[in-house]
Structures are given as C-alpha cells and as structure tokens.
Amino acid sequence: MSIDFEKDQQDAMRKTDNIQSLADQVESLENVVSTIDAAEENLKLLKKKRDHISGDIIPTMMSEMGLAELKLHDGSHLKVSTSYKAHISEANKEMAYNWLRENGLGDIIKNEISVSFGRSEDNKAADYAELAKGQRIQPTQQMKDEPITLKALVRERIEAGKEMPTEIFGVYSENKTTIKRSK
C-alpha cells in the first residue's frame, strides 16, 4: 500500500476551500439578517410616526379649526374618524355581563353548552340529546361575547352619549386620519 501525498494534499485543500466558502455564506447570512433587523426597526419607527401624525396631530389641528373632514384643492378628501376597541377581561367578566343585563343589553352575551362524545358513542349522544343531563355527563357551559358585536355596541353608545363604563369593558378609542386621493 502506497501513500499518495499529492492526493491527500488536494483533499485537504478542497476541504479548506469548502470550509472557507461555508464561512463566507454564514457571514453573508448574518449581514442579511442584520439588514432585515435594521429595516424592521426603521419600519416600526415610521409606523409610530405615522400613527402620531394620523391619530394626534392632524385630529387635534382639525378639531381646533372645527373641521371633521376637508376637501383639498387636488380633489383629495381628508377625514378624521374615531374607532373604538373593547375587551372584557376575565376579572371583569361578571361585572360586565351584569351591567349588560341590567341595561337591557344581555342579548350580546352568548351562552353555549356543549358535550363531547367519543367516536363509538353515537347512541349515547342521541340519548343525551333526548334527556340532556340524564346520562350523568356534565356539559361544558361557556358564556362569551362576540368582539365585533361588543365593539359596535361600545361605538354606538359612546357616539350617542349613552352611559358605557369604559373601565369594565376595557374601552380604548383612537383617531385615524384617512386621505382619499382623487383619481
């Protein structure tokens, strides 16, 4: 058996070239990731600036001028609108539901009862449908509100000047300026 030093040398050089090529690609990846991170951070800052101008500066200026909307010379339409968000936390759920019921708004509360059966329990499911709790299977009961319905209720009541306990319902409002360009 003879030792081929030249072939061994070539194999070692090929491995060295491959390792250097891999290292170059790792460095390239790190540069791309770094560029993306910087771009995302810049985008966050731009969105924050947009939201400040759209939600605070322009609405305040228009309010001080007594304007709700404005048509510009180029035909564009500028409008400030207020949107509302609401969320009932677990801690406030009982208080919120009681308030809704006491104020004749209990219809927005959904009360769901469900029972789960296994694959081979069709007969049991049919019996349960007939007898409800007669099979000693306890249903799961869940009361919940639909977020879109709650949001609409909050907007409707606030805009009509009606009572709406904002702390119980986690109400948040924000202004937004929209610009519709003429075509």
**Alpha-carbon span 44 to 140, nearest angstrom:** 43
When mean pLDDT is compared over 40-49, 60-69, 107-116, 139-148, the highest value belongs to: 40-49
Query: To which H or E segment does residue 111 belong?
Result: strand 109-114
Question: Helix count (H) and strand count (E) of the chain?
Answer: 5, 5
User: What's the pTM?
Assistant: 0.56
**Alpha-carbon span 163 to 170, nearest angstrom:** 14
pLDDT digits (tens, 9 = 90+) for 23-55: 999 999 999 999 999 999 999 999 999 999 999
The CB-side HSE value for 55 (13 A sphere, CA atoms) comes to 12
pLDDT digits (tens, 9 = 90+) for 80-125: 999 999 999 999 999 999 999 999 998 888 888 777 778 788 887 7
